[in-house]
Homo-oligomer: A and B are copies of this chain.
Amino acid sequence: MKRFTVTVLGSSAAMPTAQRNLSAQLLTYGEQIILLDCGEGTQMMLKKLRVKTGKINHIFVSHLHGDHFFGLIGLISTWHLLGRKTPLKIYGPPMLQEILELQLKASMTELSYQLVFFATQNEFPAVIADTGHLIVKSIPLKHRIPTTGFLFSEKSLPRKIRRSETDKYGIPLTFMERLRNGEDYTDENGNLIKNELLTISPPEVRSYAYCSDTAYDDCLPGVIMGCTMLYHEATFLSERAEQAGQKMHSTAAQAAQIASIAEAGTLMIGHFSARYDNANLFKEEAEKYFSPLLIAEDGETYEIGNQADLSRN
């Protein structure tokens, strides 16, 4: 089973603090690395963590508030200066392309690599990408400007053949592909042999839902139901619920309530307002409604997986 992790590069809302950078996360699946949002300073954080950035071929930008994308043009420029050749796929709101192209034009830069842009919409959930390993679905979020989250799901694996059983029942080799896809087998005498006797279930599909900036949204659980890990913003504590509503952000309690309704495996919260300097308050508030809970910490890497499996390791 390939390793599936998320590394937090920045967890501060709106402006950086001494401890927390602006929004960005790395999703790693085996050798593949995907960047989620790219606040100012992301390239410095990638350098600090010695990330092999040449492996980043997909970047997903949730929305055009500066704390989520002002670092993108710098990263794109640095790759150009390093002579990158591999095309880069960017998924984000339509205006992002215009902003990037204007800045490249101003510096008369003809990039050394191809930049392939895919515009997102936030009207309805849709499959928007296949990274080879992961299927990516956009998640409409409720924010002041058009914003999408992203749900990354492993491709479902075929079932595994139990060779001893298929030999015993004399299943022809030509039927193996259909067995892997879950079909039952009927032999020449009309006896039905159930697929479960002949194959083993593949590991459960793991998934990561990235919900960057959003007000409490009761449509959200339906889209991310049963995800292995949910990242949900928690800009404020409940004491500022009114402000959260006005600014279309969430409280720690609201994030945990969404995780609970969505039956998420694990909840990670981040995007903390710079006014707070004690993340434990967020933990205490959220854990009243949901656990297991993770507090996003810059530079930390978290495994995405079944909690029972993880604790067994």
Contact = CB atoms under 8 A, between A and B. Distances in A.
A115 interface: no
B81 A74 contact: no
A106 B94 CA distance: 10
A117 to B, nearest CB: 14
Contact of A44 (B16, B144, B145): B16
Given A65-B107, A66-B107, A81 B43 contact: no
Nearest to A15: B78
Interface string A258-302: 000000000000000000000000000000000000000000000
A108 B144 contact: yes
A67 B106 CA distance: 13
A74 B70 contact: yes
A21 to B, nearest CB: 8
Interface in A101-153: 102-103, 105-108, 144-145
Contacts of A44: 16, 40-41
Contacts of A77: 15, 66-67, 70
Interface size class of A (residues with CB under 8 A): 35 or more
A14 interface: yes
Contact of A106 (B15, B16, B64, B108): B64
A47 interface: yes
A179 B81 CA distance: 59
A108 B43 CA distance: 26
Given A14-B78, A40-B41, A99-B102, 6 more contacts: A15-B78, A15-B81, A64-B106, A67-B77, A70-B73, A70-B77
